[in-house]
Structure 1
Amino acid sequence: MKITCDRDVLAAAFQLAAGVAPSRSPKEILQNVKLTVTGDTATLTATDMEVGIRLAIQEGLKVEQEGAALLPVSRTGAILRESSDEALVLETDEAGIKISGSRSRFRLPSSNPDEFPRVVGFEEEAYHTIPAKLFRELVRRTVFATDAESSRYALGGVLLELEEERVTAVGTDGRRLARMEGKGTAVGGHHTTGTNTIVPTRAIQLMERAAGDETVDIAARSNDLLLRTPRCTIYSRLVEGRYPNWRQVLPTRENAARIDMTVGPLFTALRQAAIVTDQESRGIDLTFADGTLRLDASTAEVGQSHVELPIAYDGDSVTLTLDHRFIADFCKVLEAESSFVLEIDSGQSPALLTTDDGYAYVIMPMARDR
C-alpha cells in the first residue's frame, strides 16, 4: 500500500475514528485504526466491539498502490497532530508502515490488518432520514441528562423513538428529564417499537460529532443501531434494558403558572446566585412573587447570595428549591436570546421548561433545608 494524503484531511478523519478505539483492551489489535485503500478511496475503520466506525476519504488523496495497514492510535495521532507538512506519504513494507513528509520520516511497527475485526457497513433498506442540524440538536439537548454511572443501565443512553414523520430523543438520570422532538422521514416503513432503542451516551456523542451539514440516515435493529452520513457509517450496540415511561414524567397541569422567560438573563442571575454553593449544597431557592424571581443560596462555610430578576408573574408566591447545575445545563444548550416557558405549580412539584421548537425539560425539586 502507498498513498499520498492531505495531512489536515487525514488528521480530521483519523481523530474521529480514533475516538472509537479503546485506550486499553485485552485485544491489543483494537488499539489501532485500520486503513484500507481500494480504487480512489481510503477507508478508516475502528471498533471497541461495542461501537464501530467506517470513514471514507477521497479528498486530497492520491493512490499509488492499494492495500491495508493498521495504524497505532497514539503514535499515529501524535504524528498527524505534530507534523507541519501539508501532505504525508503512507507506505507499508514487511517491517511495518512508513509515514513521511517533506521534512520528517517515521516508521511504526504494524500488526496483520487481516486480523482486525470487520466493521459493518450500512446496507439497510428501511431507515429514517433526519436533517443533520436537527439530529445534532436531538443529541445535544438530551445527552447531558443521561447517567452513565447509574446501576440502571437504561439511563446510560439516549432513547430514540422513530415514527413515520417524527423523531423523539429522551435523556434522564432520574432527577431531571430532557426531551427533544422534530420531523424525520421514514424510508421503507422504518419505525421503532417500545422503549428499547437506547443508544449509549458515548456512541451517540460520536454520532453527533460525525453528523455533517446535510442529512443522516438511522436504522434501528433489534440489538444495534446504524447511522450513515455522506462520509461515514457508525455502528453501536444498544443499551440493554427498558427505558422508564418518560411520558408520565412530563407533567400536564391545568392550574400551573406559565411564565415567559429568556435564557440569557436567567443564566446570568443563576451564575451569580451559585457563587456561594458547593458540592454538598447545590440547591438554590427560586421564589416567584410580585413580578420578581428571587434566587437565594446559602452555604455554612461559604456564605449567602440573593439575586433578583424581573419576570412577568403576578400569582401567589411559590418557592422551588432546584439543583443549580440542572438549570445551567438547560441554559447551556440554548442561545442566550432564546425564549422559553417556565411552568410551576408548587414547591413540591417539578418545574417544566419548554421551547416552541419541540424541547421540554423537567427538573425535580430538592428538599428544602433552609
Structure 2
Amino acid sequence: MESIPADAHTREVFYVGGEYVDDGTVNETVYGQVYVEHLVPVHKPLQKYPIVFIPGSSRTSIDFLTTPSIPTSSPPPKSWSSHFLSLSHELYLIDPPFRGRSPWHPPTHLSPSSQSQSQPYLTFSAAPLQKAWTTPPFSTQWPDVNPPAGKGSPAFDHVMKSTHPQLASLAEEQSVAQKSLSALLDKIGKPVIILAHSMGCKIAWLLADARPGLVKAIVAVEPAGPAFQMRGMGGLRREMTAFGLTEVRLGFEPPVGEKGERLGRRLVKPEEEGLLECWLQDEEQEGGVRELVNLKGVEVLVVTGEGSPHRGYDWGTVEFLRQAGVEGVEHLVLEGAVMEGRGGGGNGHMMMLERNRGGIGEVIGEWVGRRV
C-alpha cells in the first residue's frame, strides 16, 4: 500500500460574515461575506495553532495553494499551504471581501481600482525596481528566465490571469474584512497564527486589534508600508495613512481619531546605509507616543526579500510596531546565512511564487514552530 503524502488533508469550504443590505431595488443582498477554505491534515496530532492565510492586494488564496511551474525543478518546490499541512497545521485560506470567490456587490457600495498589465509584473517579477530604491536591486528568484519575459511567459500569465479588481477605498475594504474575519476567528474559537502578505497585513493588524485573545502571532510578509506613507512602484503615495499602519482606526492608548486627533509623526533616518527614511510617531506629540494596547502581546515576524523594494523600508514598519509597544517583533531579511542551503536569497515581493519558495516556507515554519 502506498504511503499517505505528507500534505494529505481533508477540505471544506464555507462563508463567514456578511450582512443584508438594500441593493437599490426592492430586494436585499448579502454584503461583505468572505470565502474560506478549511484544510485539515490527515496526519495527527495537529499543531496547537491553526494558520490563517491572508493574500495581498488584488490577490486571492491561490497564491498559497498553487504556483507557477518551474521547468528546471523536479519535483517543484511545495506551495506554502502544502508545507504547513506537512507540518500538521490546520489551515484557513481566505479570499478577501469583494475578491475572487468572495462576491462582488452593488455598485452603490463599490468602485474598482484599475491596474495596468505592466504594474503587477514590475512589482512581482525580476524587473529592476528603480523607483523604490536609491540603488536598484534585482530579484533573482522569479521563475521566468532572465531577462524577464512578458505576456506569454508562464509566470507572467499565472500572475495576470489570477489578478482581481480591488476596491478603490482601502478603508472600506479593511473595515469589512475586519468585521467578517473577526467572525472567522470567533468560529475557530482558539488562538491562531496569521500569515499575511503585503496589503493583507493591514487586515492582520486589524484582526489582532479586534480579537487580541484569538491571535497568537502574525507573520507579516513584506507588509504594506512603511507607516504613515506607503510606498508603491511609483514611489511614495500622496495620501497619509491615518492610523499609521491602517486606514481604519486601531486601538491606540491614549485614543486616536475619536475627536479628530491625529498621530503625531516625524521623519527618521535609518541607521543602516542604503535604506530609506521612514515616518515614526513623534515622541513630543501631546499625550506622548500612543501604544497599540491590543497588539502588545502578539508576536510578530516581518519577512523581507533581499531583492525587493521592501528591503529599503520594512525597517520603518518594524520600528513603528516596537515604538507602539508591540513587544515581540522580529525582522527577518532573507539573505546570507538565513537562506544558505535553502535556494539562496535574491527574493522579490511575491516570494511565495518564486523558485526558492520551499526554503522560505521552511524558514517561516521554523519560526512558527517555536511558538508552540
TM-score scaled by length of structure 1: 0.22
TM-score scaled by length of structure 2: 0.22
Greater relative contact order (Cα < 8 A, sep 6+): 2
Larger proportion of strand: 1
